Amino acid sequence: MPVVDRGRVAAALPGYGIGAELGSGAFGLVLAGYHQELDRRVAVKVLTSPDAAAEAGFRAEARLLSRLDHPHIVRTYDYVVRGDLCMLVMEMLSGGTLSRRALHPEAACAVGLAIADALAHAHAHGVVHRDIKPANILFSDSGQPKITDFGISKVMEGSASTASRVVGTPRYMAPEQITGDRLGPATDLYALGVVLYELFTGTRLAPAALPLPALLRHHTEVPPPPPPGVPAPLAAVLMRCLAKRPDQRHPSAHAFALDLARAATSVFGRNWLDRSGIPIHLGLDIRAVTTRRPSRLTGRRPPAGGAGPVTAGAGAVSPGRAGGSEGRIPVLVTALAVGLALVIGGGVGWAAWGRADPAPPTAPPPPAWQPVLATGTITAVFGAGSDGFSGDGGPAAQAEFDSVSDLTVDAARGVVYVADTDNHRIRRIDRAGVITTVAGNGTAGFAGDGGPATAAALDSPASVAVAPDGTLFIADKDNHRIRRVSVDGIITTIAGQDAPGFAGEVSDDGLLFAGDDLPAVNAKLDYPNTVLLTADGSLLIADGENNRIRRISPDGIISTIAGTGGSGFTGDDGPATAASFSYPCALARGPDGSLYVVDQDNYRIRRIDPAGVITTVAGTGHKGFSGDGGPATSADINTIGADVEVDAAGTVYLSDPGNSRIRRIGPDGIITTLAGTGVSEYSGNGGPALEAELVYPGGLALDAGGNLYVGDAVDGRVRAVRVR
């Protein structure tokens, strides 16, 4: 494992904060970084090998990348050498590698177009990548695919170049890379064809169990099998890419992109690219193909300068005739097997932020911020323990917060979102443990719709929810609005108006309500404090002073699912729509689809079952502390500022802020204390949670590893308790 003195890296890069390690390889590693003046997250690739050839290759990569400027190629910001320390400052791509993504067919085609367009740009600048593979295709936070790792790229001299050594990842190597023949744009197209073959079929081009010599022979001699289940137009494009001879493949990456766009449009219909869900930037000629009617694409002529479309399997040549290299392949394969066995895991190059190929793990490694704890123990994970605002771009453990109201774990991306309420921001802790602001400029107010969320004004945001695609929903409490931050960072309002209240007249008893069944953006809210996404894409809102639970359907229409609007306590064992609340302030889903509600000023936790019937599951209606070891419905709790979470077993976790405790209600209805002594202090890290002191525990979030995260609204910290 490479060892790097991070102090030296930080000293060599003034103005940058240096964070956790993101990945490593044979010649170096990649560190998270943050440019403080530009408010920019970066990845710092550090060469640690003393080998002179490695240093030359590293410098060559920097020079190559400086020549390339394309939306689907990783951006390079700086190359710095300090003594024997070489550093490449690059764009941070934290959306993971292609090897970790399962894409539907339209999305796979969109990624193929993006990579082909990027290769066309590189080839036009005389650069052949030579190691296209899923681990070298990374995604930005917004889902934009980009080629990375140009560490073994080759500058073409004239029309092509001959490799001085065999480099690449065997699973994706073109025949001419194996035989030592001349390399060119077609070399990258073969590798892209293998990548797309795997994406389209879910299987490898060559059997996974093949030893290295047999794998190399497979690439040079064995005709590729037609891709099973792939429509004929797309199969034809793939098979042409996989031809053994370079001159039988597409003449250029641009020609391939046009052919793929035509084939995909004939299969998926016009405008399929807009439905793919992949943000890509293409030339007008390629994009235009995806918007034409399929009937106009049939009977097309072959692209100029190349052979016409082929049927599945037609691109293969007979064994022993790949590139005119008859009689050489067995000797080359034997010789190459020894050398390539050293790099079979991921090629000679090493992938920034990715892991070595070929076999991706079934699950990514745990985030750096996820603690390893024994069951029942507690530790601090985020926050310096003082009120304020600081730390963006650095470790979240050293950041300052001002009233942590809500926590949301985005397990798919390995990040945590924090509603930093009195800083008027939503902050994000990435997989490496680096914290940044994703919404709010720190000034209380309302401004910024239609622009970057980081430039917008929020007012006491109290809750954040994240959709599967990374879209954020924010309860902008004191603005009486729900705001949405798209995957490209643009903020808009989806519900609420300037003034709090209702969108219609309500009688004194609160039984008549005229604010439903209209677009949510036209409705009024009154201190909405919690947002919760449901499986069908609806958004639930705890509409605090309106004493209702409201629902925004996927089509944007708002309705009430619980509460009459009157403040009080009524309705148990009846329809939730006929019940009354007194400032509902937190929501959670149970494994059976039930909705749990913290009824704050009634000092109760209530449950709405899938049939819509409401009951009390904890609390007597009296503020206090009692009842541990007995039925939760007989226990006193203090729910001012409380939160609730429910795990897959149906266990309910309740923050009991006024009692400085976290309490747990088992599926049998018995309540106990999970953490806290009842003393409002800070102590106990590393020990039993029952012996730890908590100040004012509020927001809760569970992760998949059995940890419960607890935000302390007063203490400026987030702590974790292992609950199972």
- Strands lying side by side in the sheet with 548-552: 518-519, 557-562, 548-552, 539-543, 528-533
CA distances from 349 to 60, 152, 153, 352, 357 (A): 13, 6, 9, 10, 11
**Neighbouring-strand partners of residue 637:** 623
**Pair 169, 495: CB distance under 8 Å:** no
Residue with tokens 């980081």: 454
Question: Which amino acid type is present at position 642?
Answer: A
159: its two tokens: 């029309």
Q: Is residue 33 helix, strand or coil?
A: strand
Among candidate residues 68, 180, 86, the one with its CA nearest the CA of residue 129: 68
DSSP 702-722: E-TTSEEEEEETTTTEEEEEE
- C-beta of residue 266 within 8 angstroms of C-beta of residue 106: no
CA distance 534 to 687: 36
- Which residues are identified as catalytic? 131
- CA neighbor of 243 nearest in space, from 256, 257, 262: 256
Beta bridge partners of 46: 29, 87
Q: Which of 522, 480, 521, 485 is nearest to 498 (CA)?
A: 480
Give the CA distances from residue 621 to residues 67, 282, 575, 606, in Å, rounded to whole numbers and listed in that order: 68, 61, 20, 11
Q: Taken in order 163, 166, 167, 169, is the CA torsion positive or negative?
A: positive
CB atoms under 10 Å from CB of 334, counted, come to: 11
- Please say whether the beta carbons of 61 and 73 come within 8 A: no
The answer to whether 628 and 675 are in contact (CB under 8 A) is no
Q: Which residues does residue 97 pair with via DSSP β-bridges, in sequence order?
A: 138
Q: Determine the residue type at 329.
A: I
Residue 572, SS3 per DSSP:
coil
Q: Which residue has the tokens 């590693």?
A: 29
Cα–Cα distance between 158 and 127 in angstroms, integer? 11
Q: Phi and psi (nearest 5°) for 543?
A: -95, 85
CA distance 518 to 530: 21
Under 8 Å between Cβ of 490 and 435: no
Spatial CB neighbours of 240, under 8 Å, sequence gap ≥ 6: 248, 249, 250, 259, 307, 309, 310, 314, 315
548 secondary structure, DSSP code: E
Cα atoms in the 13 Å half-sphere on the side-chain side of 20: 16
d(CA 639, CA 632): 14
Q: Which of 642, 710, 646 is nearest to 675 (CA)?
A: 710
Q: Can you tell me the distance from the alpha carbon of 260 to that of 264, in angstroms, rounded to the nearest whole number?
A: 6
